[in-house]
A and B are shown apart, each in its own frame.
Chain A
Amino acid sequence: MNTTSVEQKGEALIFEHSDPQRQTSSLAPDVNISEISQGLPAHLLRKQDVELPQVGELQVVRHYTRLSQKNFSIDTHFYPLGSCTMKYNPRACNTLAQLPGLIGRHPMAHASMSQGIMSCLYDLQTMLMEATGMKQVSLMPMAGAQGEFAGVAMIRAYHDHHQDNGRTEIIVPDAAHGTNPATAVMCGYKVKELPTNDQGDVDLDALEQMIGPQTAGIMLTNPSTLGVFERKINYIADMIHKAGGLLYYDGANLNAILGKVKPGDMGFDVIHMNLHKTFSTPHGGGGPGAGPVGVSERLQPFLPIPMVGKNDQGYYWITENDQPLSIGHLSAWMGNVGVLLRAYIYALLLGREGMARVSEYATLNANYLLKRFSDAGFDIAFPERRASHEFILTLKKEAKEYGTTAMDFAKRLLDYGFHAPTTYFPLLVPECFLIEPTETESKEELDRFVETMIKILEEAKQSPDLLKQAPYELPVRRLDDVKAARELDLNYYYQE
């Protein structure tokens, strides 16, 4: 008998509450299983029952409610995770997306039973076109990374269509999200990594040498992942276009420029948007997302299908018949409609005035934090530059002087009730925090965050071990990641 106390063991697994004799029949239909199974071919039936937990309804509710309480979330904590735009997710978006007729609609419902949802999607397409300055939008991709895939696949389809087959390379800055190079490879391209200069801008000399007839395109984030605006963007666009390449815009940082500047005006040919960032759909513990793509005129024929069109009879699905050069389908139906619907409701709630305020207050909050950290003696990665909606703080000095890493600061922040910023990304800034407060945080919260960081800095000076052992106040202490990877335990029912 295991005598470890509950406190030491943590929350039991749901399987440990299970008893095969227990039945929670109110949730399932009343049928005689063995009688029905006899109608199916015996040799194709399961020999051994599936092992799912058999637990009472209240006990299941309590188990998962308790687990939820072990999470930090936007609803409970400041969550300044850089590049992730952890802003408030208005509850109305969730409630209204679940109205009858919307939540239960089958994806193959007849067109006469689909005009409502199609009108929402059509309007969302239009709003996203306006916000980004692109010619047309497809809502199909189910996440940012799939939007990236669609974008680069369209670049490839464009070159293939023009029988321009010598273009084998995609240029990606060294500060880019890891999804950028991974996507280029999935589309059959070689990746050329572009260095960054000490101001956080793209190294133009290096770029010049990299560009040639082998260049299919470049993937840029602007403002970049370094939290600064790429000022030479027009010059870069010209260079790439002159060489016959296309420009891809990673929309991860769209929150910084909404209503101020449009990717279409910067010369981009294709962009993806992360609706779970800029348009505030829930992050859900890691998905679902939605990554619509917008294109300039020349990439229009290659957009993924279906899209929503409108004519005299009403709304209709744009399919391969209307869009024969499309890169094709990326999901079985119409992408993550439920997410798209939440983004649509969010856009209606903000309206055009509210949308412009998003970038204004996100930028105000970031620059305020930057200045306050700088005044408190923290090192800013690019102190000469204006912050966009996020900025980078480097704890290199502290690491050298006190032996405390950025990760140690991050873990100590958790003890004080703050989710840590993004750590160790971008990879080129040592011991870094990428901090994105978003527009929905109050000055009071930002001040509390700065004061806590000052307090932790003091702790680092006085007793660095306190940081190295942190956190103390969370459901678990620091976890052994090496053991997790070496002695894989991924399944309750199967141990290697």
Chain B
Amino acid sequence: MPYIPHTPEEVAQMLSVIGADSIDELFDEIPKELRNDGLDSIPARQSEMAIQRILSEKGLLDGTPMCFAGGGAYEHHIPAAVWEIATRGEFYSAYTPYQAEASQGTLQVIYEFQSMIASLTAMDVSNASLYDGASGLAEAVLMAIRANRKVKSKRILMPASVSPVYRQVVETIVKNQGISLELIDLDSDSGTIDREKLTAQTEAFSALVIPQPNYLGCMEEVHELTDWAHEQGALVIGLVNPTALALLEAPGNWGKAGADIAVGEGQPLGVPLASGGPYVGFMACKQKLVRQLPGRIVGRTVDLDGKPGFSLTLQAREQHIRRSKATSNICTNQGLMATAATLYMAFMGTNGLQKVAASSVANTQRLMALMEKIPSVSLPFGKQVFHEFVLALDVDADTVLERLAQEDILGGINISRNYDSVSGHKNLLLICVTETKTEADLKFFAATLGDIVKAIKEGE
């Protein structure tokens, strides 16, 4: 019996201790009319070897295309040691560290994770992680509304330069609490927040979300935006990419006072693409907001002998203590992914992460230079980007992506439906380049895309 170690003799002994004739008798409190053992549409059991073959075939079917898609999920090199260590049984098969003395490994890793995230974002404190960047942004919005006691508004300013799907997730999670998300338009020249329209806002709001770099790869004027929001009595939520923070100014240092909350997707820190999850959201804030922070938090303390140790702390915020008055319904964090992210940052160090970021920027600049030379293709928002840029085409973007897929290239994300009204272009691709690409990869991609565009135009 798979994973069940009992011998028939042991089962008989156990039943005799219980005083039951059969295992089935143990279910005698379930009303008979409810009993239903139908599992017909579940296949019969197969061996590990047979299942390995099935899964290998599924993997081959999807292939391993050359990836130029980003949009919130980024292909980076993951040092081999990261997952060798993270999947050790002692990390992989442990649970939330409720018994601190028996969980010092996990607890110290999370304390180190919190310290690294706080350093990346230049914030005072971080939590132990959240499900992902999108739901993390929703939690940041809820937190900002709880925390902003100066402006008692349930209004949040949400720029169009924030990922469209992040905006949808926030909407789903906060809409039942009477919170309104005010969309701030995109400036179609720069691909950033339309600051004229933003500053024309007169109604009170609790917080402004500032993405850096934004969904289109462009860089927001974070200092100016932060100061303006603070002057309005609002809080600032910085939505940031952790790789970019190796080079770009950290939210804690934006403007005169710094952003109040930093949140983002930690996937670029050693977590595989894996079709979109499990990833790891991170959230950090200023010390004065720590009691409004959702999720698990680990603190350093001492034991009976005065020896340093770690435990979950500030649990009075959480659902298992506060129930209906908790800061969030969150129970688990993303412990294993946070462990991998900690390992990644420890292996990379300051210098390694800077190199990953710089190499991604350099490759992106190289690809943009190659793309610019292709006729009937343009860069509507310019070249001041981090590792993503928008490419405007005068042919159908879906057709281009489809033909690139035939050449085993994942050529980017079609964002035309989300941004057509602002850019004046009907066909927009969001393209990402990280450190994983070589000069040859970039040339191959640009040449293939050039050929496809040409062929489509000639076929018209």
Contact = CB atoms under 8 A, between A and B. Distances in A.
B451 to A, nearest CB: 18
Contacts of B176: 153, 156, 186-188
B331 A351 contact: no
A23 interface: yes
Contacts of B42: 127, 130-131, 347, 351-352, 355
Contact of A142 (B54, B94, B278): B278
A68 B88 contact: yes
B351 interface: yes
Contact of B276 (A89, A257, A332): A332
Interface string B275-290: 1111100000001001
Interface stretch (B30-38, B145-153, B442-450): B30-38
A283 interface: yes
Report the 3 A-B pairs with minimum CB-CB distance, sorted nearest first. A351-B45, A333-B276, A284-B336
Contact of A484 (B126, B168, B287, B313): B313
Q: Report which residue of A30, A288, A440 has the largest number of chain B beta carbons within 10 angstroms of its beta carbon.
A: A288
Given A182-B323, A372-B17, 10 more contacts: A44-B212, A51-B350, A119-B58, A260-B37, A331-B277, A333-B275, A337-B274, A480-B302, A490-B300, A490-B313
Contacts of A494: 118, 124-125, 287
A366 B413 CA distance: 51
Contact of A113 (B72, B135, B323, B410): B410
Interface string B129-166: 10111110000000000000000000000000001011
B351 A54 contact: yes
8 contacts: A52-B353, A100-B64, A148-B329, A364-B26, A414-B101, A439-B4, A479-B100, A484-B300
B337 A287 contact: yes
Nearest to B349: A54
Give the interface residue-count category, chain A.
35 or more
A402 interface: no
A69 B223 contact: no
Interface in A17-33: 18, 20, 22-25, 27-33
Contacts, number: 699
Interface string B165-191: 110110111001110000000000000
B132 to A, nearest CB: 5
Nearest to B212: A44
Interface in B52-106: 52, 54-65, 67, 69, 71-73, 75, 77, 79, 81, 83, 85, 87-106
Contacts of A204: none
A185 B56 CA distance: 44
A327 B172 contact: yes
A455 interface: no
A85 B349 CA distance: 37
A45 B287 contact: no
Contact of B248 (A46, A68, A187): A46
Contacts of B132: 142, 331-332
B311 A481 contact: yes
A163 interface: no
Interface stretch (B193-201, B357-365, B372-380): B357-365
B167 to A, nearest CB: 10
Contact of A102 (B17, B59, B73, B405): B59
Contacts of A186: 173, 176-177, 328-329
B352 interface: yes
Contacts of B17: 368, 371-372, 375
A162 interface: no
Given A186-B329, A488-B290, A328 B56 contact: no
